[in-house]
Amino acid sequence: MSGKNVLIVYAHQEPKSMNGSLKNIAVDVLSKMGCSVTVSDLYAMNFNAVTTRNDIAGDLCNPQHFSYGVETMEAYKKGCLCEDILKEQEKITEADLVIFQFPLYWFSFPAIMKGWIDRCFVQGFAFDFPGCYDTGLLKHGIIHFCGFQVLAPQISYAPEYVSEERRKEMLQNWSRRLKNIWNEKPIDCTPPWYFH
């Protein structure tokens, strides 16, 4: 889709891994479709995954009792978050599609990606109350709580244990899906009873 902005948040240490290949295919396919693709390669960036007081560039609201959620929300409102967070938030804001590319670690994503979410998706920027889920502040991409529409995951099961032919098939399947990704319908993430 020409003119669309895509952000790939990528968390793998090895460029020659299956995750690296899947990321490269996404960059190639989407770029050829006329999209502007940005990659946040978290390991290559040495992204700091730890939430600390250093995430706030200005004065704290309550230096005697530090509350990360409160302090980052206020810092966001004042434009006083640290530079690496602001850069990532700008990428998120500009994106029409966000792809999270990562290996599964203990049924979840790697700690560096969780840290990216913890630090970047602060209240006021990504969500607010009652502005969450369908009324969240970020209405495109992946994370439903923040208002993102979520597409079905693309899972390549145990690539290290399958044949080379099967790995190539996994890459081809991802390439085919990307060519039609702008037409996909979001999946239903939250059961209706949650909102009652």
Q: Residue 191: pLDDT above 80?
A: no
Calculate ∠ Cα 57-115-78, nearest 5°.
25
Q: Which pLDDT band, with edges at 50, 70 and 90, does 106 fall under?
A: confident
Q: Residue 130: pLDDT above 80?
A: no
Backbone φ and ψ for 8, nearest 5 degrees, come out as -110, 115
CATH superfamily of 5-195: Flavodoxin domain (3.40.50.360)
Domain boundaries along the sequence of the chain: 5-195
Q: What is the pLDDT of residue 160?
A: 87
Q: Per-residue pLDDT averaged across 48-65, rounded?
A: 94
Q: What is the pLDDT of residue 2?
A: 78
Q: Which pLDDT band, with edges at 50, 70 and 90, does 97 fall under?
A: very high
C-alpha 69/C-alpha 111 separation (Å) is 19
Amino acid (1-letter code) at residue 67 = S
Q: Which pLDDT band, with edges at 50, 70 and 90, does 127 fall under?
A: confident
| Token pair listed for 110 | 């790697």
Q: Per-residue pLDDT averaged across 87-108, rounded?
A: 93
- Please give the share of the chain, as a percent, with pLDDT higher than 90: 70
The partner residues of 73 in beta bridges, in order of sequence, read none
- Output the pTM of the full model: 0.88
Q: 8-44, pLDDT tens digit by residue?
A: 999 999 999 999 999 999 999 999 999 999 999 999 9
Q: How far is CA 163 from the centre of its chain?
A: 30
Amino acid (1-letter code) at residue 98 = V
Q: Per-residue pLDDT averaged across 108-126, rounded?
A: 93
Burial class (CB in 10 A: 0-12, 13-18, 19+), 107: exposed
Quick one: which of 20, 27, 7, 16 has its CA closest to 178? 27
The residue with tokens 């080379």 is 164
Q: Residue 144: pLDDT above 70?
A: no
